[in-house]
Structure 1
């Protein structure tokens, strides 16, 4: 005979592990982080001087993983409440609430600090670039490089 309580706890533990793994899914958005597809690709380089630096917040990812893991956890938890129709209702409510909570947890866990760097290029044009704050410590008056590729722009030293 299968122990239902043990199966529920194993399923709950598996869903929790999946939810925790979501935090590792964040993609690097800093000036020194390159996607694998950017390797060995030519970029346009411009030089300029930093005019301003402002702290910003980069929103987290919003994938189905957080919602699904939260719904699984909530549904399992709701299934342990009551019996009969009450148990079915609690399971549905738990799954919906868990899905919403899981989505919020994923977004919060993958949110990160960023910087908006405003650069006066050597041709006197201004450019503002938002990227993850990887501790570069950019300062107004500092000379920097602006690297541009198809859809990607970054500021670096």
Structure 2
């Protein structure tokens, strides 16, 4: 019973928690609050579902929690198998396999569902925005409001009560 509880705890740690809400158009960071931002308007040209890899920077996965947790869990499971040199081999194999599996699980759990929006701005140019959300939230031909601070931009549906 202790092993099952330990495995459950390790699995919970392995799955990790990432705050991907910052990638949506509905969440502002503390730095963005009370800052002047520019508003413009446009029309959605196309919508494509994509994923945002939350813990990935510069193409490198710098968070090793998944690999380390998987290695520990795999090693514990491997150690429960066999005797003598067989147990050592099972422990090593479990640790290596667990590390690989843990890395894959971490990559998947740190992805956020997102949309890639191609938007024709009122001034005539087309831009592409990637933000957290669902393709159900936007559709081609939809009027949108664009908010930017010069570095980041987000799109939100433009409702009829929004005046210009």
How would you bin the TM-score normalised by the shorter chain?
0.7 to 0.9
Q: Is the counterpart of residue 51 in structure 1 residue 45 in structure 2?
A: yes
Question: Structure 2 CA distance, aligned partners of 1:142 and 1:14?
Answer: 45
Q: Residue 142 of structure 1 aligns with which residue?
A: 142
Gaps of 5+ in 1: none
In terms of fraction of residues, the more helix-rich structure is 1
TM-score, normalised relative to structure 2: 0.76
> Residue 119 of structure 1: SS of its match in structure 2?
strand
The answer for the alignment partner of 1:105 in structure 2 is 105
Report deviation, 1:94.
0.7
Residue 90 of structure 1, CA deviation: 1.5
Q: Look up the match of 1:18.
A: 13
Instruction: State how far apart, in whole Å, the 1-side matches of 2:113 and 2:18 are.
Output: 16
Root-mean-square deviation (Å): 2.4
Q: What's the CA shift string for 1:76-96, capped at 9, x where partnerless?
A: 001112222322222121111
For the residues of structure 2 that align with 1:82 and 1:14, how far apart are their CA atoms? 24
Q: Which runs of 5+ in 2 are unaligned?
A: 56-60, 158-164
Counterpart secondary structure, 1:58:
strand
**C-alpha distance in 2 between matches for 1:47 and 1:91:** 59
**What TM-score comes out, normalization by structure 1 length?**
0.79
Whether contact under 8 Å (2:20, 2:112) holds in the other structure is no
In structure 1, the residue matched to 2:154 is: 154
Aligned residues: 150
